[in-house]
Amino acid sequence: MKIAVVDGHSTGRALVSVLLSRGAACVHVQTSPHMSDYFTRGFRPEDYEILLDGTAGPAALARELRDLHVDRVTAGTESGVTLADTLNHLMGLPGNRYETLAARRDKQVMGDTAAAAGVRVPLSGAFTDVDAAVAWYEAHCTGEAVVKPPRSAGSDNVRFCRTPQDVQAACKAVLTADDFLGRPNEVALVQERVLGTEYYANTVSYRGVHRVAELWRYTKRTSDRGSPVYDYEEPVPIASPEAAPIRRFVGAVLDALGVENGAAHTEVMVTPHGPVLIESGARLGGGTAPHVVERYSGISQTRLLAETLMVPEALEAFDDSAVVWHGAVRNVALVNSTPGTVRSLDWTARVESLPTLVHLAHSAVVGRRLPETTDLLTSPGYVYLAAEDPQDVRSDYERLRAMESEGLYLG
């Protein structure tokens, strides 16, 4: 089997490794020559049979992929979602509903499409004019608002706002910046901020059948400038009462957005009035080490997607309610509080000495400046902590945060 991966970066790298181990051949399609190093670092061109320029145009690419006898097309990361869906449509391969393509990338269209299907979403508006955005906030929001680019990823230029002045500053920041792909933001999205407990579901679908491979509960902070800072996340048993309403809600979201085949990463806020959609991406979840997830639960979204790409009909037989986590696991985002130049990587030994540490992933480079962590894109990396006793995990988490407060990453 031959599989084309569009922007095989982030977790897409792990997907390709699993596909290769299963005997598949892979073709890479790159949507842009100017992608951020945040996504492209660690890319292994040798994993692919051929590398294709995705800027050639979808019709030409579809013909080339047909000539290469490609059987399936999938997105490796967020930037590949639109092109992957377009190629599947042109090639007649199992993909997502083409008529809802925009709803899977533009967050305003996403909210409108989901709401039209009866899915609860935050009240929102999209604006090209800062004054209009402020006026909308004053008329429609009684509490906090969230300002974000409608087509970016991660927590790029996301701001929590309490006042009209906050909204004004946040919208100016969005409208004068490029997104993570280097494209100008033409619109700023303003949403009411919904409060509760936030989760994400990593799913795999085939022909409209959805299975939850992983369900995690977020814990986040807010930076001094009002942006979300990832703290840690912990798995939620999929068969638990806590998970039941989220699973039903996520299935409705995927149906509304036309996700029928492939992976999706869906963020949900559970409020006192029930679940609310934050956003959904038709691709693998990022910031994960699939082999660690598999060690403690038996499956990961990445492996389930690879197996579904190879043997699609097998997904229906996968019982997601039977997924059981062993021990306590916590995925902890690294937080750098002191910007400066990295002088050495000796700090990695201190982190690896934590008794419950099972995996460290980082982007620090000696001689390169490390910014203060103010959002997901400025985090130096992440670790997995795991143990039988949850208190052991909590203790090592606190030790890690104490080390960070002393300028851990600058050496």
Q: Where are the domains of the chain?
A: 2-93, 123-192, 197-410
pLDDT tens digits in sequence order for the chain, 411 residues long: 999 999 999 999 999 999 999 999 999 999 988 777 777 788 999 999 999 999 989 999 999 999 999 999 999 999 999 999 999 999 999 999 999 999 999 999 999 999 999 999 999 999 999 999 999 999 998 889 999 998 877 677 899 999 999 999 999 999 998 877 678 899 999 999 999 999 999 999 999 999 999 999 999 988 878 788 999 999 999 999 999 999 999 999 999 999 999 999 999 999 999 999 999 999 999 989 999 999 999 999 999 999 999 999 889 999 999 999 999 999 999 999 999 999 999 999 999 999 999 999 999 999 999 999 988 889 999 999 999 999 999 999 999 999 999 999 987
Is the Cβ–Cβ distance between 47 and 18 less than 8 Å? Answer: no
The rounded distance, in Å, linking the Cα atoms of 286 and 8 is 12
The rounded distance, in Å, linking the Cα atoms of 5 and 27 is 6
Confidence at residue 227, expressed as pLDDT on a 0 to 100 scale: 83
Nearest to 151 by CA among 81, 198, 85: 81
Scanning the structure block, which residue is given the tokens 């409020």? 271
Is the Cβ–Cβ distance between 78 and 85 less than 8 Å? Answer: no
Q: Which residue type occupies 401?
A: R
CATH number, domain 2-93: 3.40.50.20
Sequence-ordered list of residues with C-beta below 8 angstroms from that of 403, at least 6 positions apart, any chain: 347, 350, 351
For the record, the structure tokens of 42 come out as: 């660690």
Nearest to 325 by CA among 292, 355, 356: 292
**Three-class SS state of 287:** coil
DSSP state of 178: B
Class of domain 123-192: alpha beta
Checking 194-198 for CB contacts under 8 A at 24+ apart, the result is 194/122, 194/269, 194/271, 194/276, 194/278, 195/269, 195/271, 196/269, 196/270, 196/271, 196/272, 196/276, 197/269, 197/270, 198/267, 198/268, 198/269, 198/270, 198/278
Confidence at residue 36, expressed as pLDDT on a 0 to 100 scale: 74
The rounded distance, in Å, linking the Cα atoms of 359 and 297 is 15
The rounded distance, in Å, linking the Cα atoms of 403 and 395 is 12
Is the Cβ–Cβ distance between 339 and 372 less than 8 Å? Answer: yes
Question: Yes or no: is domain 197-410 CATH 3.40.640.10?
Answer: no
Is the Cβ–Cβ distance between 24 and 14 less than 8 Å? Answer: no
Backbone conformation region of residue 184, classed left if phi is above 0, alpha if psi is from -120 to 50, else beta: beta
DSSP state of 143: S
Q: In degrees rounded to 5, what are phi and psi of residue 349?
A: -65, -35
Confidence at residue 154, expressed as pLDDT on a 0 to 100 scale: 66
Nearest to 3 by CA among 55, 47, 58: 47
The rounded distance, in Å, linking the Cα atoms of 22 and 307 is 8
Nearest to 307 by CA among 96, 97, 74, 88: 74
Is the Cβ–Cβ distance between 246 and 220 less than 8 Å? Answer: no
